[in-house]
Structure 1
Amino acid sequence: MADAVVTVFLEKLLSTLSEETRYVNEFREQFNKLQSDLQFMQCFLKEADRVKRKSNNEILRKVMADLRELIYEAEDILADCQLQSRDDDGRSNGWLTCIYPLNLRFQHKTGKRLREINEKISHIRTNIQAFLGIPLFRQVETNVCDDQMDRWSSPVYDHTQVVGLEGDTRKIKDWLFEAKEGLPAIGIVGMGGLGKTTIALKVFNERDIENHFDRRIWVSVSQTFNEEQIMRSILRNLGDASVGDDRGELLRKINQYLLGKRYLIVMDDVWSKDTAWWSRICAGLPKGKGSSIIITTRILEVAQKMGGVEAKLHFPKFLSKDDSWLLFRNIAFAGNGGRCPNSELEVVGQEIVEKCKGLPLAIKAVAGIMLYKPPRLHEWRKTQERFREELAERDDSVMASLQLSYDELPPYLKSCFLSFSVFPEDCVIAKEQLVHWWIGEGFIPLRNGRSSIEAGEDCFAGLSNRCLVEVVDKTYNKTISTCKIHDMVRDLVIKVADDDAFFRPNGLSSRHLGITSEIKMKQLATNLKLRALLSTTKTAEVNKIASAIATKLDECQYLRVLDLSRSIFEMSLTGLLYHIGSLQHLTYLGLSNTHPLIQLPPSLEKLNNLQILDVSYCQNLKMLPPYIVSLKKLRVLDVSHCGSLDCLPKGLGKLSNLEVLLGFRPARSNQSEGCRISELSNLTRLRTLGLQLACGDEIGDSEVQALENHRELQFLSISCFDSHGSDLSAKVDKLCPPQQLDELCLNFYPGKMSPMWLNPVTLPMLRYLSVSSGNIAEMHKTFWGDDNVVWKIEALKLESLTDLGIEWVKLQEVMPLLQIVNVSWCPQLESFPIEDAGFRGGVWTKEDRRICS
């Protein structure tokens, strides 16, 4: 992926040369030459990568690998130049650095190495051009070289849409409802990419299935699973972390939880023909009550050995021609409501779909490519020809479409896509962790002053719209929160990442690694050029890492990203972090849910490049050190769910680059060293803010305007959990959010009436509203607007509001754009709909107290 490495480096180089020219003054001539050569090479590197893969030519492969390594080294030199140009306070010393005697050795060594890199890259440029048959001085058209941003930079395709599976789901649901005795097993058997998991998931999430079973358990069975992992996964589904139990105790617990219950267990993607492990688990499960098992597998023998009888084996068929075309156009023309704009494109589209042979994964992947193509015939013909070439090489429409999808990614998205390679099979991944990684390593192009978080979200949408990422969980407003990738997508990711030393399965000579309990000493000892080291454990699991491995971290001098979330170390965590200040290039530090983190070490003050600091869910963290306010590059500070944290340090308003601040608890009037809420008025770049309020004196009378001038603020969460005193609701009532707010979450509000500012006049742009817990019994009269002003809210969540009484008809009148209603444990609501997404079905009334969501 030389084009991706070059693109990322050029982004950093151009930024440094234009905004921080004094840092590289001494080496400007060499950096300018490097920039010129690489910009020229950008025009044909993508083609060189493709030719390298197709021809399997070892000479070209080595040339491209050499180029990649040289670019990485140049990037490290650029970063070192920036460090050398700063004093102990993180301020630039400017051109004086270049003549300061102590830096003469660095100056000489760096200048010499840059000249050598330039010479080698010039030689590589000549070799690649000759190999591709490109004349040495040929001018390539500007539009070929432009790194165009995506045509669609936000989610446009609804992943919940399923095509052609109605009959499949109906048959399997009928089998489930028929179950009475024993523990019948239903097998869904078919080749990869046929939609086995999609069918099982659709059945699993159907409302009548949810109502029919007391417990529903989904287990992803990886190819490297073991029996204990399966049992722990089942228990996690039942809400039990089960740390430290042996297999016998785990199975006894499962039996206890399920005894007397009607349950459904889905064992997804089983590979092993040795099913003795399942026989042992199944023997310990309670039988009867209408409980059932669903198995998805590519291997018929596996389904049979796990109890699937012939009468209850389902073999999904290929999609019909009509369903294939429907699925394709729903994605390829998602920006046009799924409608093909003209007959010429339809002819090409139909020809492409025909080559997918009815395989849903292949159709989705190639349709995702076309979504990003302009609706011009010659562009579609060109992609059609590329697809035909891929199919000629491998008679596998799924892998051909996936390879083409990767080839067609913009360079910056290739790096983002390959980041999935470090995660284990079937791992559920938090979108936030991915976005923070991409920002920290500089994968994301920042243009025209865009917010880094916004740019990261757009990159994720680029992969999601192309159907390279599968949605696992969404928030109430259908924003993706967690994801995973299909095992066939992962096969491609692993292969490309291995070839390009982005990540290697053996962990050796990689620039990116995932932290698991199995990580070995030699994986760190041989990776001193490591760029990113991240926690990649599956949901609810914890890393256990040996002390010897932990002490190796500070030797990875070029580490940009370090995420130790959900890790337990044999040595003291404070001791581990004692030398973290030596990682001068670190931009993202994740310590979420690490125990027992009580305080941050003094050495953290040296991390002047730090952009993201996440210490969320550290319940024992008592304070943040005052030096936090000197980390001027911080964009994200997350201290949410830190129950022991009283307040943040005074001077936080100096962090003018902050875009995300979560868990902000203002100092009380008697906490002189704490940050008051008034300091928020200086953080004008904030896009996301989470306030944690407990009592009225955290908001002074002169501080109620602290949020009014936040023009960039899109998301605001106000939580009054564990509040005390009777004046807090009166103070919150005066704390008016900015008008352009897009989403508001109000949790544990102590007042009986909603805040006065919660109305369509004060918040005219609000699209998403969540109100949870608290004492609200009625909405303020301003909430209902007037004849001329109504809400623009599209998604509404009401949860655990036992006293709130609202009539559905009245709410509809003031929220005419409402599309999603998510309601639970609100018994006083009247006539609310049972179904969301268009409000199909019956009506929820006070007499029928079922949960509506």
Structure 2
Amino acid sequence: MPQPRSEIEEVFHSLLKNLNTAKLKLSESELVSSDFHSLFNTIQTDVLQLKSLLIEENQLTKTPSQTRTTMRSSSAIETKTDTTPQFVASNESTRDCDAMSGVKFTIDYLEARVKQCLLCLAIFPEGAVIRKQQLIHWWIGEGFVPDTEVGNGCCEELMYHGLIVPVKKEYSDEAHAFRMDPSIRWQVVEAAKENSFLEIDPQGNPVVGTTGRLVLIKGLDRVRVRVKFMRGSGGQGLISVYNVDQQYVHLDKSWFSGQRKLGTVQLGRCIGFREHHTELLKEWELKRIGACRNLRYLSLRGISKIESLPDSIGDLYNLIILDLKACHNLEKLTAAVTSLQKLQYLDVSECYLLDQMPRGLGRLVNLEVLKGFVVGSSKSKDPCRLIELSRLDKLRKLGISIGRQSVATDDELQQLAGLKNLRCISITWGVMASDKKQSLAYSGTVKTVESITDMQLCLPPKIEKLDLHCVPFREFPEWLSPTNLAALKKLYIRGGMLETLGAETGWGVEVLRLRYLRNLKCDWDAVLSLFPRLRFLENRECQNLASWPCNAEGIWQKLD
């Protein structure tokens, strides 16, 4: 005969499961009124309060030392904004199931999708700062979430339950990374083992086994032998290959040959990326990747020695995310990528040897994020032009690179205005106004290197964030005005020739970041007049703006 508290917990478990199922169905419905959403959220809050009461009641039955341990572990629920991980000793007490029953209780009754997302965190070492975007991409690769929006929702739920803590940059409202309290991490590691999600050694590190997830960490050797063992011992083959912090990746054909279930290949390291590069040994084995027809996420971010991608990449018809950021040796992006009809995310930013994009990108109608688009030069052979991007109705984020010899017709410079869903755009120039004039031949009315400084871009009116790098003009151009950009909330200008901030008032900008603008001159009163809604400003190494009322870090914030 169960005890009364056990009966209450059983009822609560059933209620929480049903609520999670209802929440999932509710999120997929477009016919539910906002009032019902509000009512549902109220009910969910009441249930979570009941959970807290149950946990609190459970704590009353524990010894004082056990209670202190649990309270210390639960402190991760509080949001912290510093970027320095707070380490807690990982000993037997932090792994004690009774002391951490509240956390285990929460993990056990997460909605199935959210729980799978959480278990992925078991691969990261204690104290690691985890990039949210890369983790969501992994979730998409595994099929746990269909897109970034749902992935963000899962992150919000994990933060709501206190299982992850957002890590915010100083003076930033947004969190692009997070970490786990060490005690909570041990609970996640235990859950990953119990659910056969990963095989974990006694130190809490993932090892290659039969779960189908190959995790690359420092000191992991003989990967080839272990992958063969995985395939030959009744295993299902690879599901994911994820590089946490291994610098030299011994790429082998066994990783791709016959791997029909492989959904994620993250070869560029996700920890310490900015400090160290990654190298593929036997990089030519990449040509076999076309056999992985179920692949949804491919990241070669930051990997050196890759000069081109194999044409077989065009066979990855399920690919959703292709991340090639900072592949510094990449000279050509194969036209085969234009066959990837399901592609939503393409990043070739910081690939400085690229001089054009392949023609046909306009066929990628599901593309939502495109970073590093290179405007072709007169020497480019059949490049993709800006006019093609006007077909990408779902595009939300766009990054454009305009090189020293880039050419663009008057017509195509106006095409960006047609991207009605575009909310964020970044433009980087590789040309300065002082450069020697060069004649650039291209059919139509072209912009030469000298006249590029006067190009008349036409940006979508709903742009919310504009990021300009190495601006070649001295005065604000006509297209950069509050009249044209009424929805703009964030304006970043980093480096270049700019001398003024214009004279047109009425900007709705709330966040203004100015960096490395040595020629810029503007009085503080003029800034407040130009940007009356300003609440945050950064002035970094703009030597003529020393009189502005910024702190030692160059930050000014409006007091509420």
TM over 0.5: yes
- 1:792-831 to structure 2, matched below 5 A, reads 793-829=509-545, 830-831=547-548
CA distance in 1, matches of 2:356, 2:268: 22
The correspondence for 2:470, drawn from 745, 748, 763, is: 748
Q: 2:102 aligns with which of 392, 401, 410?
A: 401
Q: How many residues align?
A: 471
Deviation at 1:618, TM superposition (A): 1.1
Q: How does 1:64-463 map to 2 (within 5 A)?
A: 145-148=21-24, 359=71, 361-365=73-77, 395-396=98-99, 399-445=100-146, 452-463=147-158
Partner of 1:564: 267
Partner of 1:544: 248
Task: Say which of 491, 496, 501 aligns to 2:191.
Answer: 496
Match of 1:781 in 2: 503
Aligned to 2:461: 739
- Equivalence for 2:87: none
Equivalent position of 2:318 in the other structure: 609
User: Hey, what's the Cα distance between the residues in 1 that align with 2:336 and 2:558?
Assistant: 52
Q: Residue 626 and residue 400 in structure 1: after superposition, are their counterparts in 2 closer, same or farther (change >3 A)? A: same
Deviation at 1:475, TM superposition (A): 7.9
SS of match in other structure, 2:327: coil
* Alignment CA distance shift 1:775-1:837 (3 Å): closer
2:360 pairs with 1:665: no
Is the CA contact (8 Å cut-off) linking 1:475 and 1:481 kept in structure 2?
no
In the alignment, is the contact (CA less than 8 A) between 2:361 and 2:388 conserved in 1? yes
C-alpha distance in 2 between matches for 1:400 and 1:817: 48
Q: How does 1:699-718 map to 2 (within 5 A)?
A: 699-718=408-427
Whole-Å separation in 1 of the counterparts to 2:310 and 2:267: 15
Q: Does the C-alpha gap of structure 1 residues 651 and 507 become closer, same or farther in structure 2, counting only changes over 3 Å?
A: same
Q: CA deviation at 1:354?
A: 8.8
Percentage identity across paired residues of the two chains: 28
Shift of 1:462: 2.9
Shift of residue 143 of structure 1? Answer: 6.4
**Cα gap change, 1:360 to 1:143, in 2 (>3 Å):** closer
Q: CA shift at 1:486, angstroms?
A: 1.8
Q: What is the match of residue 12 of structure 1?
A: none
Alignment of 1:571-650 (within 5 A): 571=282, 573=283, 575-650=284-359
What displacement does 1:349 show? 11
Map of 1:322 onto structure 2: none
Question: Which letter does structure 2 place at the counterpart of 1:543?
Answer: Q
SS at match of 2:513: strand
Which TM-score applies when normalising by structure 1? 0.51
Residue equivalent to 2:3: none
Contact 2:114 2:154 (C-alpha < 8 Å) held by counterparts:
yes
User: What is the alpha-carbon distance in structure 2 between the residues aligned to residue 524 and residue 820 of structure 1?
Assistant: 51
Distance of aligned partners of 1:491 and 1:577 in 2 relative to their CA distance in 1, 3 Å threshold? same
Query: Counterpart of 1:441 in structure 2: which amino acid?
Result: E
Distance apart, 1:465 and its partner CA: 3.9
Per the TM alignment, residue 443 of structure 1 is displaced from its structure 2 partner at its CA by: 1.3
Q: Which runs of 5+ in 1 are unaligned?
A: 1-50, 56-133, 135-139, 152-334, 369-392, 446-451, 841-853
Partners of 1:805 and 1:828 within 8 A in 2: yes
Q: Distance in 2 between matches of 1:348 and 1:821?
A: 44
What residue is the counterpart of 1:308 in the other structure? none
Give 1:585's aligned amino acid.
N
> 1:244-271 deviations in whole A, cap 9, x for unaligned?
xxxxxxxxxxxxxxxxxxxxxxxxxxxx
Task: State the shift of 1:522 in Å.
Answer: 4.4
2-structure distance, mates of 1:694, 1:353: 64
Contact 1:777 1:805 in 2 (8 A): yes
Partners of 1:813 and 1:403 in 2: how far apart?
A: 54
Change (3 A) 1:739 1:351: same
- Alpha carbons 2:73, 2:183 under 8 Å: kept: no
- Give the equivalent residue in structure 1 for 2:442: none
State how 1:670-685 maps to structure 2 within 5 Å.
Answer: 670-685=379-394
Aligned equivalent of 2:178: 483
Matched letter for residue 460 of structure 1 = C
The alpha-carbon distance between structure 1 residues 400 and 794, as it changes in their structure 2 partners (threshold 3 A), is farther
Return the offset for 1:748.
0.6
Whether the aligned pair in 2 keeps the contact of 1:429 and 1:484 (CA below 8 Å) is: yes
Query: In the alignment, residue 458 of structure 2 is paired with which amino acid?
Result: C
Deviations 1:613-665 (A, max 9, x none): 11111111111112211111111111111111111111111111101100000
| Residue 511 to residue 822, structure 1, CA distance change in 2 (3 Å) | farther
On the 8 A contact 1:799/1:825 being kept in 2, the answer is yes
SS in 1 for 2:158: helix
Alpha-carbon separation, structure 2, partners of 1:143 and 1:395? 26
Counterpart Cα distance in 2 of 1:442 and 1:653: 26
Task: For 1:692 and 1:759, locate their aligned partners in 2 and report how far apart those are by CA, in whole Å.
Answer: 21
TM-score w.r.t. the length of structure 2 is 0.75
Q: CA shift at 1:771, angstroms?
A: 0.9
Instruction: Provide structure 2 residue ranges, at least 5 long, that are not aligned to the other structure.
Output: 1-5, 28-40, 61-66, 81-95, 201-206, 270-277, 436-448
Would you say the 8 A contact 2:514–2:542 is kept in 1?
yes
After superposition, what is the alpha-carbon deviation per residue over 1:526-583, rounded to whole angstroms, capped at 9, x for unaligned? 154321111111xxxx522335x55444343210010111442332x1x211211111
SS of residue paired to 2:458: coil
Deviation at 1:585, TM superposition (A): 0.6
- Name the CA shift for 1:812/1:351 in 2 (closer, same or farther; >3 Å): farther
Query: Distance between the aligned counterparts of 2:176 and 2:431, measured in 1?
Result: 27
SS in 2 for 1:403: helix
**What amino acid is the match of 2:240?**
A
Confirm whether residue 529 of structure 1 aligns to residue 237 of structure 2: yes
Quote the offset at 1:693 in angstroms: 0.8
CA-CA distance at 1:799 after TM superposition: 0.8
Out of 676, 686, 706, the residue aligned to residue 395 of structure 2 is: 686
Find the residue that maps to 1:409 and give its secondary structure: coil
SS of 2:398's partner is: strand
Q: Partners in 2 of 1:440 and 1:413 — Cα distance?
A: 15
- 2:551 aligns with 834
The amino acid across from 1:468 in the alignment is L
* 1:558 alignment partner, SS class: coil
Instruction: Give the distance between the partners of 1:510 and 1:487, measured in 2 at CA.
Output: 24
1:839–1:144 CA distance, 2 compared to 1 (3 A): closer
Residue of structure 2 aligned with 1:554, choices 226, 234, 257:
257
Q: Which residue of 2 aligns with 1:768?
A: 490
Q: State the alpha-carbon separation in 2 of the partners of residues 394 and 349 from structure 1.
A: 16
Aligned-pair CA distance for 1:730: 1.0
Partner Cα separation in structure 2 for residue 141 and residue 543 of structure 1: 42
